[in-house]
Chain A
Amino acid sequence: MKALGADDTFPKLLVRNAGAFGDRTAQREKEFGIWQPYTWGQVHDHVRDFSLGLVALGMQRGDKVAIIGDNRPEWVWSEIAAQGAGGASVGLYQDSNLNEVAYVIDHCDASFVVAEDQEQVDKILDMLDRLPKVKAIVYTDPRGLRNYKHPKLLSFEAVEEKGRALGAERPELWLENVRRGSADDVAIICYTSGTTGFPKGAMLSFRNLLTMALALHEVDPKKQDDEFVSFLPLAWIGEQMMSLSAALAIGFTVNFPEEPETVSENIREIGPHVMFAPPRIWENMTSTVQVKIMDTSPFKRLLYNLFMPVGYKIADLKFAKKPIPFGWRILYRIAYWGLFRALKDRLGFTYLRSGSTGGAALGPDVFRFFHGMGVPLKQIYGQTEISGISCIHRDDDIQFHTVGKAISDTEVRISETGEILSRSPSVFLGYYKNEKATADTVVDGWLHSGDAGYLTEDGHLVVIDRIKDVMQLADGTQFSPQFIENRLKFSPYVKEAVVVGKDRPYLTAMLCIDMGIVGKWAEKNRISYTTYTDLSAKAEVYDLVQKEVDKVNATLPGAARIHKFVLLYKELDADDEELTRTRKVRRGFVEDRYKDVIAALYGEQGEVEIDTTIKFQDGKIARIHTRLLVRRLELGKAA
């Protein structure tokens, strides 16, 4: 097991860093068009003041502080401050709705809430009668809150002010508080957005989080002068791992984008050395490049079409672990100067040493695309319950269909039932106030992932699907809907896919088109459309998607082929509870909601009348009345 050393909590590491390299930049936030740096010393002072401020407001050791908002330095300061006062932090997804916010804050017994702005404060205030345990709500952005006169509401600065006053009175208190913390204290409670039922709060200790960061560091090293851009929700374990555990343990710089809309621009400005993002981000980048190449000047398009195959060739050789012939090396050099250098610069990947993706499968085409231009993209696998990660691809050993090998100090094995089990010092302490679920999940130290999978001969882990999702057709054939859905989603035109077929005679699919790319395609082919609903009902679009489904069908065994599909009239959305906040399909809910559509998929009529209402985020309700076509596929001889 990794020895954590004397500085075994986040606050202790912060004190250490402030002492060892107090003048180096710890964080940057883009504000007013300029990257504003904060040194380790400044971060330490903010954290100290805010922490003492919480104490002054009556925070006790063991209290919880809930934090909701976009990625900002204050988010991270609040978390370490809460931990410094002996408490734990609970992150909430910034796009959570009222009920989700109220459920988590109440369930975790938070006594303080740090909310970014008016939008988040409104959510909390609306639900305050359901949150009797909350003592104070702290906001970081005063905009629009001037006329709010709630007795429990105060600003981040006001709390810091109280902290400074307390610090002047008792200068030793902060370090005393920090020293009282230990590696096995609960550091964060991470609410996992379950695909079924209420979210569960996974309690993670400093030991869990730090052993994780160090074990990953061993196989995927980071340096002190690395840059990292924090743009995924800080409530998510992956972002916690990078922006807190790893940043504190190693000491690299974390950069916070100006606004969620400016992320890609900001990534380009920073040029990060490490990046961790879910598949949809990488997929988006790939499709954005492809769409923009369609629009660019003929000369640039020529360069792209000339040099990209060189990249693909090199990538394929690397994947196959074959040596690269001298001639190809020369060609690749030329391709680098002709294309990849500029392309990487555009994406902000000039300095990227390690990019990783996790949470779901990523298509081979996307892998080849990034490796082709020289961006080392790796798949990782893990759960919140194991502090994020148990497996990762090694630099020289990338296989698309696997999620790599176990990281240091981590054992992975497959149970008799085919479930993936893992064990490491990073396995969590348990679910908050839910011992039954804890006992079901961790047996003899082995974390039961609920995923079905197998190990290859060379020790790579392959993940098939959630065990409970592995389904049987009426004739007993087993199939994994997620496996097929992922294959479907590898198509740039398909954004979401839900495969249906449990206890049915054959498989069908409900698909959501990608508005951006299909829209572009429609423009190019002179097909006019108005809305998403309209575009997805076009016969030409059906033809387009059918070709994609046919391609996938060709790779599937006979019984697991898609017989019919529909294109849904709206995108699946987390606000409609169709997806989790990390964008996984909530299968049971979706199948229930679209039961008319499913009935049509298994009926004979070939189309279905849809008359439904959808609710927008601002509470407005719109009626959708449309006719949904069912496309039947010509299935050749079964393979």
Chain B
Amino acid sequence: MAILSVKGVVLYFRGVTALYDVSFEVQPGTIHAIIGPNGAGKTSMLNCISGVYRPQRGTIAFDGRDISRLAPPERTGLGIARTFQNIALFRGMTVLDNLLIGRHTHQKTGVLGGGLYYGLGEKEEIAHRRLVEDIIDFLEIQHIRKKVVGTLPYGLQKRVELARALALSPKLLLLDEPMAGMNAEEKEDMARFVLDINEERGTTIVMIEHDMGVVMDVSHRVCVLNFGEKIADGTPEEVQANPDVQAAYLGEEAPAPSEREA
């Protein structure tokens, strides 16, 4: 059964239609890419899934449950985590603290228990720290554990944001342009991490990405949006061969070489 199933989603802002009748399914354990030209509605789609936008029509089901009417924190509680196109971290806090905040949803002791700390609070904090340290090890950010986020280079901040999303222990991870603005080496590292998260942790990933080389390399399925409509859905090879996709990316009359960046 699909872990995420989007059915007939329509989203408009006053007169502007951002998404029109978009449907697709994401199978558990896969990496699913959403691509499309600028303004195609990719981020809007992701925002609908994470709950930032409420689509006017259509349903979004996660793990067989309709989540269309749930608030973002409730969706997070169910196991959906995301990263943002523009980094959204607490810049004045350390990497470690940012990640521990990611564990907030899973915090069970309340103001009293946590505030008193000793006993239950301590035990829980150790468990959370252990989990966060696992992620730090996984994403190889040990050397910046205690650095303040705002002082880090952009590529590392992106990685910290990914770590923060992972700290939620999500079943479904939404990545909004994880490689934007990175150099070739950083992109390669990030692609490696995305693959590792999927393979080692079994996390399902829905990812918006512009770098076609990366998309074709790492994703199992690709879904293409153009002007708010889905124009193709399939394996990377199928999508690449699709004439509509070539037209959307290259203009109507272009011959259609591969989109791969040099």
On A, residues with C-beta under 8 Å from B are: 31-34, 143-144, 146-147, 258-259, 261-262, 265, 616, 618, 620
Partner of B145, one of A33, A146, A147: A33
| B184 interface residue per 8 A CB criterion | yes
- Closest partner residue, chain B, to A142 (CB atom): B200
- For B129, list chain A residues within 8 Å (CB): 33
Contacts of A33 in B (CB 8 A): 129, 133, 136, 142, 145
For B140, give the chain A residue with the smallest CB separation: A259
Find out whether the CB atom of B184 lies under 8 angstroms from the CB atom of A620: yes
**Which residues of chain B from 143 to 157 have any CB-CB distance to chain A below 8 Å in the complex?**
143, 145
Which residues of the other chain, A, contact B140 by a CB distance below 8 angstroms? 259
A620 to B192, CA, bound (A): 17
Q: Which of A32, A34, A618 contacts B134 (CB 8 A)?
A: A32
Q: Tell me if B65 counts as interface (CB < 8 A to partner A).
A: no
**Given A143-B200, A144-B199, A261-B142, does the pair A31, B185 have CB atoms closer than 8 Å?**
no
B217 to chain A minimum Cβ distance, whole angstroms, is 14
Complex contacts, B142 vs chain A, CB 8 Å = 33, 258-259, 261-262
Given the complex of chains A and B, what is the CA–CA distance between A126 and B31 in angstroms?
Answer: 27
Query: B133 and A32: CB pair below 8 A?
Result: yes
Contacts of A259 in B (CB 8 A): 140, 142-143
B21 contacts the other chain (Cβ, under 8 Å)? no
Interface residues of B (CB under 8 A from A): 129-130, 133-134, 136-138, 140, 142-143, 145, 184-185, 188, 192, 196, 199-200
CB-based contact B199/A147 at 8 Å: yes
Can you sample 25 A-B contacts with CB below 8 Å?
A32-B133, A32-B134, A32-B137, A33-B129, A33-B133, A33-B136, A33-B142, A33-B145, A143-B138, A143-B196, A143-B200, A144-B192, A144-B196, A144-B199, A144-B200, A146-B199, A146-B200, A147-B199, A258-B142, A259-B140, A261-B143, A262-B142, A262-B143, A616-B185, A618-B188
Q: How far is the CB of A400 from chain B (nearest CB, A)?
A: 34
Distance in angstroms from A573 CB to nearest chain B CB is 15
**B195 to chain A: closest residue by CB:** A144
Output the nearest chain A residue to B96 by Cβ-Cβ distance: A33
Residues of B within 8 A of A262 (CB): 142-143
Q: How far is the CA of A147 from the CA of B130 in the complex (A)?
A: 26
- Inside 8 A of A616's CB, which chain B residues have their CB? 185
Provide the residues of chain B in CB contact with A143, threshold 8 Å: 138, 196, 200
When chains A and B are docked, how far (Å) is the Cα of A258 from the Cα of B146?
14
Tell me whether B184 and A618 are in contact (CB under 8 A).
Answer: yes
How many angstroms from the CA of A261 to the CA of B137 in the assembled complex? Answer: 13
Interface centre among A32, A143, A147, A265 (most CB of B within 10 A): A32
Measured CA separation A259–B129 after assembly (Å): 19
Which A residues are in CB contact (< 8 Å) with B184? Answer: 618, 620
> Which residues on A sit within 8 Å (CB–CB) of B185?
616, 618
- Please name all residues of chain A whose beta carbon is closer than 8 Å to the beta carbon of B136 when the two chains form the complex: 32-33
B192 — nearest CB in chain A belongs to which residue? Answer: A144
Tell me if B199 and A31 are in contact (CB < 8 A): no
Q: How far is the CB of A504 from chain B (nearest CB, A)?
A: 40
Contact partners of B137 in chain A: CB under 8 A: 31-32
- Chain B: CB-nearest residue to A261: B143
- Residue of B130, B134, B142, B185 with most chain A CB atoms under a 10 A cut-off: B142
What residues of chain B lie closer than 8 Å to A144, measured between beta carbons? 192, 196, 199-200
Contact of A32 (CB < 8 Å), options: B130, B188, B199, B200? B130
Which residues in B have their C-beta under 8 angstroms from that of A146? 199-200
Give the docked Cα–Cα distance between A61 and B143 (Å): 41
Residues from chain B with a CB closer than 8 A to the CB of A147 are: 199
Q: Tell me, in angstroms, the Cα distance from A143 to B145 when the chains sit together.
A: 20
Inside 8 A of A258's CB, which chain B residues have their CB? 142-143
Q: Which residues from A are CB-within-8-Å of B196?
A: 143-144
20 further contact pairs, Cβ within 8 A, besides A33-B133, A143-B196 = A32-B133, A32-B136, A32-B137, A34-B133, A144-B192, A144-B196, A144-B199, A144-B200, A146-B199, A258-B143, A259-B140, A259-B142, A261-B142, A262-B142, A262-B143, A265-B143, A616-B185, A618-B184, A618-B185, A618-B188
- Give Cα A144–Cα B196 distance, bound, in whole angstroms: 6
A residues near B192, Cβ cutoff 8 Å: 144
- B200: chain A residues within 8 A (beta carbon): 143-144, 146
Shortest 3 CB-CB distances between A and B: which pairs?
A261-B143, A32-B133, A262-B143
Q: How far is the CA of A262 from the CA of B145 in the complex (A)?
A: 10
Bound Cα distance from A319 to B104, whole angstroms: 59
Chain A residues with CB under 8 Å of B199's CB are: 144, 146-147
* Residues in B neighbouring A31, C-beta threshold 8 A: 137
Which chain B residue has the least Cβ–Cβ distance from A34? B133
Q: Which residue of A lies closest to B188 (CB)?
A: A618
A146 to B145, CA, bound (A): 27
Once the chains are docked, how many angstroms separate the CA of A147 from the CA of B198?
Answer: 12
Chain B: minimal CB distance from A506 (Å): 41
| Contact partners of B143 in chain A: CB under 8 A | 258-259, 261-262, 265
User: Chain A's nearest CB lies how many Å from the CB of B251?
Assistant: 30
Q: CA–CA, A146 to B199, complex, Å?
A: 8
CB distance from B179 to the nearest CB of A (A): 15
Bound complex: CA A370 to CA B2 (Å): 64
Rounded to whole Å, the gap between the CB of B248 and the closest CB of chain A is 29
User: How far does the alpha carbon of A147 sit from the alpha carbon of B195 in the complex, in Å?
Assistant: 12
CA distance A31 to B145 in the complex (A): 12
Distance (whole angstroms) from the CB of A484 to the closest CB of chain B:
36
B140 to A: closest C-beta gap in Å: 7
Chain B residue contacts of A32, Cβ below 8 A:
130, 133-134, 136-137
User: Which residues of B lie under 8 Å from residue A261 when comparing CB positions?
Assistant: 142-143
Q: Closest CB-CB distance, A296 to chain B, in whole Å?
A: 16
Q: Which residue of B lies closest to A258 (CB)?
A: B142
Give the distance in Å from the alpha carbon of A259 to the alpha carbon of B141 in the complex: 9
Distance of A616 from chain B, by nearest CB (Å): 7
Measured CB to CB, the nearest residue on chain B to A147 is: B199
* Shortest Cβ gap from B260 to chain A (Å): 15
Greatest chain B CB density within 10 A among A33, A143, A146, A259 is at A33
Q: How many Å lie between the Cα of A262 and that of B143 in the bound state? A: 5
Residues of chain A within 8 A (CB-CB) of B130 are 32
CB distance from B112 to the nearest CB of A (A): 28
Least CB distance from B191 to A in Å reads 12
Docked pose: A31 CA to B142 CA in angstroms: 9
Measured between alpha carbons, how far is A441 from B46 in the docked complex, in Å? 69
Q: For residue B188, which residues in chain A have a CB less than 8 angstroms away from its CB?
A: 618
Q: Which residue of B lies closest to A264 (CB)?
A: B143
- Chain B residues with Cβ below 8 Å from A620 are 184
State A144–B189 Cα separation when bound (angstroms): 13
Q: In the complex, A147→B200 CA distance in Å?
A: 10
Q: How far apart sit A32 and B129, CA to CA, in the bound complex (Å)?
A: 9
Tell me the smallest distance from the CB of B51 to a CB of chain A, in Å.
32
Which residues of A lie under 8 Å from residue B134 when comparing CB positions?
32
A33 to B144, CA, bound (A): 11
Once the chains are docked, how many angstroms separate the CA of A34 from the CA of B132? 13
Closest to B199 in A: A146
Provide the residues of chain A in CB contact with B145, threshold 8 Å. 33
